[in-house]
Amino acid sequence: MNSIRIATRKSPLALEQAKLIKEKLLQAHSGISVELVEITTKGDLILDKPLQAIGGKGLFIKELELALLEGRADIAVHSVKDLPYQLADGFCLPVIAYREDPRDVLVTDVCASFEDLPKGARVGSTSLRRKAQLQGKRPDLEFVPIRGNVGTRLGRLDAGDCGAVVLAYAGLYRLNLLGRNFIPLSTGLCLPAAGQGALGVECLSGSQVIDLLEPLSDPIVEAAVLSERYLVESLQADCSSPVGAHAFHLEDGQISLTGVVGSETGDTLIRSSAVAKTPREVSDEVFAELCSMGSQDLLGH
């Protein structure tokens, strides 16, 4: 192949992420051409309803996968946190890499820490994962549903619809918006979504483009993200589930994984951590302990 077409959503963040993969491909292969194929997804069009009410985060990828199936694109670039833990038949994820800081951040102009948010403050977020963990610490907070791209959410904050919004640090970084006043939320306070901050490159199984993607692979990032995704898979969780996961490598090469499952209101939160050699081993250990603590009841399984 001497050309690669990248399917991407049209949102500013998605385009920046696709441009990053384009840049990496051009650096890895001389004489290759790389083109962006911009696609509007159903998830981008319907902003007045929660994602779980209209089909979940899979709405962000179905049209991109269709472009791959129809031969209009060769690869698709995603935020890994938007990908279901099981891809549709015929697709694979040969690259999980380029992970930025996976933490959530609180963007606000009214305080300097989460603890200092005014009593009863309105916080913009539709994420049950964020709501369960943060409202568990601050039951007085009112969570306001906000959907849309990063700019849309910041616009709601600037319009005074809420006193703070919760976003992923990686999105602010990639959009060069770190000039905003933001407060990083520690993983002890709010565990991120599985795969948050990492990029995934999807293609058809068996595609010849896989060989061209090999220089972009990052085994360290991939192992950590797979640990998180395996845990979510075992929990049978999805974007509507109050579930967080975060993994990282220790100096001896082992993987440390922490997972959290909560009730929607945050009045119940269970948390477990483990260290093991492989993604599957560490996810199995955390899953077993979460189950012993009642995760299946919390998730309605």
Known catalytic residues are 82
How far out from the chain centre does Cα 226 lie?
13
How far out from the chain centre does Cα 264 lie?
19
State the virtual CA torsion across 36, 31, 205, 236 in degrees, nearest 10.
-50
Return phi, psi of residue 43, to 5°: -65, -25
CA distances to 104, 116, 182, 282 from 112, in Å = 15, 7, 8, 36
Please give the biggest Cα pair distance in the chain: 59
The CA distance from 114 to 107, in Å, is 10
CA-nearest of 70, 91, 62 to 5 is 70
The CA distance from 281 to 12, in Å, is 37
Return phi, psi of residue 240, to 5°: -95, 5
Q: Which helix (H) or strand (E) is 226 found in, with range?
A: helix 219-235
Residue 213 buriedness (CB in 10 A; 0-12 / 13-18 / 19+): buried
